[in-house]
């Protein structure tokens, strides 16, 4: 697949992201204050930067696990077919779980992941997304906690990619095709 030339405009700065994660960590600490260990499940690959920064801010005992789900491939549009490519390794039955997503777009991925993990009988399960794009929602799904609501723009950075590029940007950027 040949990529069209594009430029990236900063939409959310690294400083704004860091400040919002601090706020979210306080909210999550309050929600899970009585947990003996919070299982934080990152949805790969886009959430890896967010999950790393988030768990460092949490003043809670945490265990980190990962699940890889895909509905995009290398394209810009969701296929709406969610595939679980890598399941979590640990058991979550009777445990407190926080699912970490990079962006809720159509809602299909988060909806399916929450359903699958819910069948494993966690004590409590909540979700957090760095970004929420409600204009694209096709499934009635909203994360319990959200970093930023954004308009219907294609974004990259802070773990989010376009055809496996731009994950390493420290900010969220809007892709502008030239």
Which H or E run includes 50?
A: helix 48-57
Which H or E run includes 28?
A: helix 14-31
Concerning whether 152 is annotated as a catalytic residue, the answer is no
Query: Which of 25, 91, 29, 98 is closest to 57 using CA atoms?
Result: 25
Count of C-beta atoms within a 10 Å radius of residue 148: 16
Count of C-beta atoms within a 10 Å radius of residue 150: 20
Helix (H, G, I), strand (E, B) or coil at 108: helix
The catalytic position among 53, 96, 105, 132 is 105
| Token duo for residue 70 | 């895909």
Q: What is the largest CA-CA distance in the chain?
A: 51
Q: Could you tell me whether strands 172-177 and 6-12 are parallel, antiparallel, or unpaired per DSSP bridges?
A: antiparallel
Active site residues: 105
């Amino acid at each position: 697949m040949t990529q069209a030339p594009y430029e990236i405009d900063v939409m959310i700065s690294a400083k704004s992201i860091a400040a919002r994660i601090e706020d979210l960590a306080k909210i999550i600490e309050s929600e899970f204050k009585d947990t003996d260990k919070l299982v934080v499940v990152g949805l790969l690959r886009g959430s890896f930067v967010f999950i790393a920064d988030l768990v460092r801010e949490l003043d809670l005992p945490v265990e980190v696990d990962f699940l890889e789900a895909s509905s995009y491939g290398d394209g810009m549009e969701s296929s709406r077919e969610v595939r679980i490519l890598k399941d979590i390794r640990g058991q979550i039955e009777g445990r407190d779980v926080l699912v970490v997503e990079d962006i809720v777009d159509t809602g299909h991925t988060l909806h399916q992941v929450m359903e699958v993990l819910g069948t494993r009988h966690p004590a409590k399960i909540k979700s957090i997304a760095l970004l929420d794009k409600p204009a694209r929602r096709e499934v009635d799904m909203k994360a319990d906690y959200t970093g930023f609501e954004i308009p219907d723009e294609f974004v990259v950075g802070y773990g989010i990619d376009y055809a496996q590029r731009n994950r390493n940007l420290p900010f969220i950027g809007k892709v502008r095709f030239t």
